[in-house]
Amino acid sequence: MDYTAGAIGRVFVARIDHDEDLLDELVKLARSEEIKQAFFMLVGAVKNIRVVTGPKEDTVPPDPMWHSIAGACEILGIGNILWKNGDPSIHLHAALGKGGDVTVGCLRDGVDTYLTTEAIIFEISGIAGGRAYDEMYGIARMVL
């Protein structure tokens, strides 16, 4: 394990509107406000998405298993913002539900907002975290 300590800096409350790309809007906000490290929570609805729901096999590096959700569904998400190669990088895991069907996974591709999604973003100050690709694991990992 590797860790560091910081403090809560600025707090942002954002509304992502119908048909806006949730991930793109978070990146734009991080870039415009120069949010280098943050933790965020989401609540709202999204539509027509693809989500990684785990590896196909327990191998390193993993071969991701993709799942598609057509139409609108509810989202309850948690994630972080770190920078990778000079750009904001979003790592978002979410529970996505419609009726009795629930999918939990990592949202990596375009995520269209349905009606509205609300984000509470807690900037983390006093640390110099980032994200870098780790060839052994085949993923971009947090670097402290």
Residue extents of the structural domains in the chain: 8-143
Show pLDDT as tens, one digit a residue, over the chain (144 residues): 999 999 999 999 999 999 999 999 999 999 999 999 999 999 999 999 999 999 999 999 999 999 999 899 999 999 999 999 999 999 999 999 999 999 999 999 889 999 999 999 999 999 999 999 999 999 999 999
pTM of the complete model: 0.94
> What is residue 109's predicted lDDT score, i.e. its pLDDT?
86
**DSSP structure string for the chain:** ------EEEEEEEEEEETT-BHHHHHHHHHHHHT--SEEEEEEEEEEEEEEEEEESSS-SS--EEEEEEEEEEEEEEEEEEEEETTEEEEEEEEEEEETTEEEEEEE-S--EEEEEEEEEEEEEES---EEEEETTTTEEEEE-
Whole-number Å distance between alpha carbons of 76 and 78: 7
Q: What pLDDT is recorded for position 38?
A: 98
- Per-residue pLDDT at 60: 95
pLDDT at 137: 94
CATH architecture of 8-143: 2-Layer Sandwich (3.30)
Tell me the two tokens of residue 33: 């406000």
